Amino acid sequence: MIRGGDKLEKHMKGIAKKLAKGKSVKIGFMADAAYPDGTPVATVAAIQNFGAPTVGIPPRPFFSNMIRDKSSGWGTSLGHQLKTHGMDAVAALEAAGSGVAGQLVQSIHDTNSPPLADATIKAKGFAKPLIDTGIMWQSVTSQVEG
């Protein structure tokens, strides 16, 4: 319980200071994530998400679908994280970002269509789209900025 205007003002300033520390969180494939040959993971992820019809790669919108299906709950989740972390914006954004990153990884694993071409299945030895070496899903991360 806070009594007295000066205590309330001090408390509110403390909350404002904590909130000002974290400005945003990036989720996905950071610039330093690359395949062994140097190809950026973000490039491969974008091609898989949006497709490249000129070279026969259909869209498998794992990222777009995750945003469509999950984004409506992100504000509520961040609010809960702020409360849990005592209004510490950095800690709340780290926790929320980690949660969204987990949703993205799950979306990669859950995406099964469109099916792979027969030649791709033969080359890989299995029929699961978006999973080959595991580098893409293992590269999903979140990063607080501010």
pLDDT, tens digit (0-9, with 9 covering 90-100), for 8-47: 666 556 656 665 666 889 999 999 999 999 999 999 999 9
Q: What is the mean pLDDT of the chain?
A: 90
Residue 21 has what pLDDT? 64
The domain total for the chain is 1
What mean pLDDT comes out for the span 107-119? 95
Distance from C-alpha of 91 to C-alpha of 68, rounded to nearest angstrom:
25
What's the pTM? Answer: 0.85
For residue 17, the one-letter residue type is: K
User: What range defines the domain where residue 77 resides?
Assistant: 5-145
Q: Which is nearest to 25 in space by CA: 144, 125, 146? A: 144
Distance from C-alpha of 131 to C-alpha of 35, rounded to nearest angstrom:
13
> Percentage of the chain with pLDDT > 70?
85
Joined together, the tokens standing for residue 41 give 């993971």
Residue 23 has what pLDDT? 81
In this predicted model, what pLDDT tens digit does every residue of 72-95 receive, in sequence order?
999 999 999 999 998 888 899 999
Residue 145 has what pLDDT? 86
- The answer for residues whose C-beta is within 8 angstroms of residue 16's C-beta and 6 or more apart is none
DSSP SS3 for 121: helix
**φ/ψ bin of 81: left (φ > 0), alpha (ψ from -120 to 50), beta (otherwise):** alpha
